[in-house]
Amino acid sequence: MYEQIASNKRRTFLLIAGAVVFLGLIGYAIGLVTSSGPAGLVFALAVAIAMALGSYFYGDRIVLASTRAREVGAEEEPRLHNIAEGLAIAAGIAKPRVYVVPEQALNAYATGRDPEHSSIAVTRGLLDAMNRVELEGVVGHELAHVQDRDILVGTIVATLVGAAVLLSEFFMRAWWWGGLGGRRGSDRGGGPVALVFFAAGIVMLILAPIVGQIIKMAVSRNREYLADAQGVMLTRYPPGLVSALRKIEAGSAIPMHSANNATAHLWLNQPSRIQGEGMGPLERLFQTHPPIQERIRRLEEM
Amino acid sequence: MVVAIVVIALVAFLVLLVVLMYNRLVRLRNRTENGWAQVDVQLRRRYDLIPNLVETVRGYAAYERELFEEVTNARARAIDASSVPDQAQAENQITRGLRQLFAVVEDYPDLKANEGFLALQEELTGTESKIAYARQFYNDQVMRLNTLIGSFPSVLVARAFGFTERPFFEIEDPAQGPAQVDFAG
């Protein structure tokens, strides 16, 4: 566990350093092209540092807002609060803040920068479908991520690297709809704008798999197995999490509207916006989760 | 000259070792004490809930008087308990009494549907599992502390600075920890 914490802090540092260097280089390149000297570099570095600080201190809030999670009080969700508090006691960490995501899909995630500043969010669907023991299994898994500081890496990835993902989705869609729809003025007007979007879309298209790869490198699949095992060490009851995972698997066809490729790695189960089984090709690029069947098998062997 | 340097280096090394072990002992002792404080908070929460529960159930099932007395007495004994094993024994009685109480409730559909009762039941179930988790954390810390105090060479440091082993907080039926009891049936 302590190695895990150290490794996560190292990953966070590398991610932030990588982002600063990357943006700095872009700034430098722009400076060279426009021959405006070091201004571009300075500006890019300032932006990079601001982004790094922002994602460190406000990353959890950005993630929570992007999934439309709402904080709930102990009176509103006594069961969830009791379970979160109990398991936090078992883990010897502060009680996380508790959020509910208004979605019917069965899923949950944890975010924050350390156990003193952590939040867990579960979907309304999960809350309704799980009994107490199953919910304990899920919350135990999320608290294991909190303990290991997986939440730190996950949140930084979601906000820092995720910015690129969000941009790529934006440009992709703008380009796609703008290109096919021919909405306004087929003769003139949209010309240069469409061209810019097209170029940006192409760049992002190339960038997306790279970004996906960075996310995959930052958050390994083993982390999920580890959190399963560690969460079960808190609840001391593997069948609870097994039964929860079975229900989640059975309900995985329910689409999640607030899912996106920037936050996909944070969720307990790989979310998909697409109705039915499986996920879209772009979503597959950002697949970071091991199959649920395999997770169940490992839990049952304990 | 060389001998002096070697001796000084050795002494410095030993002092460093003692300091490190001492710090580890202190850290574990603090965690153990904090663990016990957590257990205590949850136990107190349960003491506060019991009178409410008894009153609510009494309104529907007045003639289960013996059971009410048993739970109430067990609560009083637990509050008076001074050592960890005494406490554990009294808590076991409370837990047993509460289980009987919730079993009895099964026969009273009106009570089972009462909102105040349902809220109390969630509170008690939550508190029960928090007691279990706090106990788990406390016992883990006690085990680590006792292991360190009992093993060489930390035993020497522990003796020298008066660290003592702590008792475990045991419940009678670990296979059926309260966390898994489904009062709702």
| Cβ atoms of residues A263 and A63 within 8 Å | yes
- Closest by CA position to A151, among listed A85, A262, A60, A226: A60
In 3-state terms chain A splits into helix, strand, coil percentages (rounded to 5) of 65, 5, 25
Closest CA to A109 of A96, A95, A121: A121
**What pLDDT score does A126 carry?**
95
**Out of A78, A81, A136, closest to residue B179 by CB:** A136
Tell whether A90 is within 8 A of chain B (Cβ): yes
Which chain A residue lies closest to B176 (C-alpha atoms)?
Answer: A237
B105-133 pLDDT tens trace: 888 888 888 888 888 888 888 898 899 89
Average pLDDT over chain A, rounded to whole?
82
% of chain B beyond a pLDDT of 90:
25
Where is average pLDDT lowest: A44-53, A81-90, A199-208?
A: A199-208
Helix (H) or strand (E) holding B68: helix B65-80
Contact flag A92-B35 (C-beta cutoff 8 Å) = yes
Cross-chain Cβ contact B127/A235 below 8 Å: no
Report CB contact under 8 Å: B134, A90: yes
Task: Report the CATH architecture of B2-180.
Answer: Up-down Bundle (1.20)
A242 has pLDDT over 90: yes
* Among the partner residues A82, A86, A133, nearest to B180 by beta-carbon distance: A133
Tokens coding A251: 């309900």
Pair type for strands A108-114 and A97-101: unpaired
**Largest alpha-carbon pair distance within chain B?**
90
Do A85 and B132 count as a contact with CB atoms less than 8 A apart? no
How close, in Å, is residue A111 to chain B by CA atoms? Answer: 23
* ipTM value: 0.72
- Tell me which residue in B123, B136, B180 faces A90 most closely, judged by beta carbons: B136
Q: Given a cut of 70, is residue A200 above it in pLDDT?
A: no
Q: Select from A78, A133, A234 the Cβ nearest to the Cβ of B122.
A: A78
Q: Is the pLDDT of residue B29 over 90?
A: yes
Q: Is A159 on the interface with B (CB under 8 A)?
A: no
- Residue pairs between chains A and B whose CB atoms are closer than 8 Å: 56
For B177, which residue in chain A has the nearest alpha carbon? A236
Q: For A219-224, what is the mean pLDDT?
A: 79
Computed from CA positions of residues B15, B18, B23, B24, in that sequence, does the dihedral angle turn out positive or negative? positive
Pairwise CB contact (< 8 Å): B129 & A136:
yes
Prediction pTM value: 0.79
List of chain B residues whose C-beta atoms are within 8 Å of the C-beta of residue A237:
179-180
DSSP three-state, residue A71: strand
